[in-house]
A = this chain, B = another copy of it.
Amino acid sequence: MRKALPDPQIEARRRQPVPETVDPAIEALVHDIIGKVADKWTMLILEALHEHGTLRFTQLGKVVGRISQKMLTQTVRQMEKDGLVRRTVHPVIPPHVDYTLTPLGESLGAAFCGVWIWAETHHAEIEQARASFAEREAATSSITAGD
């Protein structure tokens, strides 16, 4: 079994520079935003508020699921800073605070809708892919080209 056959197609691609299509400045900016928004808790809270409208602290925690108070507070505060949620404090004595999405937050929620739908649609395929990967792993790892 030969290993180092020349293969002109591979050689051709060998020293190709990275193809660039978009302005790197905008890329960097968008990457930064994605880095901040693409967080598990942010997405989960976003969806909770998108679904239920207005929720208070404890309710929000229950809807999100397994989130600690610490993370809930932290994430929600960051989202407030970013202008995604509005936090309203009612000055009563067992405290009452509620959270709702701003128009900006709503628009992000709408944008993520596609991802939620994707997840609902394709979760079976992911599980199947994992199973078949585990199977292949037992035999040979990954795919060897042209063989």
Q: Which residues of A contact B (CB under 8 A)?
A: 3-5, 7, 10, 13-14, 16, 18-19, 21-22, 26-31, 33-35, 37-40, 43-44, 51-52, 55-56, 59, 62-63, 65, 80-84, 86-93, 96, 104, 107-108, 110-120, 122-123, 125-126, 128-130, 132-133, 142-147
Docked CA distance A9–B22 (Å):
52
Instruction: Give the distance to chain B from A25, nearest Cβ to Cβ, in Å.
Output: 12
Would A142 and B92 count as touching, CB distance under 8 A?
Answer: no
Would B118 and A107 count as touching, CB distance under 8 A?
Answer: yes
Main secondary structure of the interface of A (DSSP, over half): helix
Would B116 and A30 count as touching, CB distance under 8 A?
Answer: yes
Among B40, B62, B130, which residue has its beta carbon within 8 angstroms of that of A18? Answer: B62
A selection of 10 A-B contacts at a CB cut-off of 8 Å is A10-B90, A21-B52, A34-B119, A81-B130, A82-B126, A86-B143, A88-B145, A90-B146, A104-B129, A111-B118
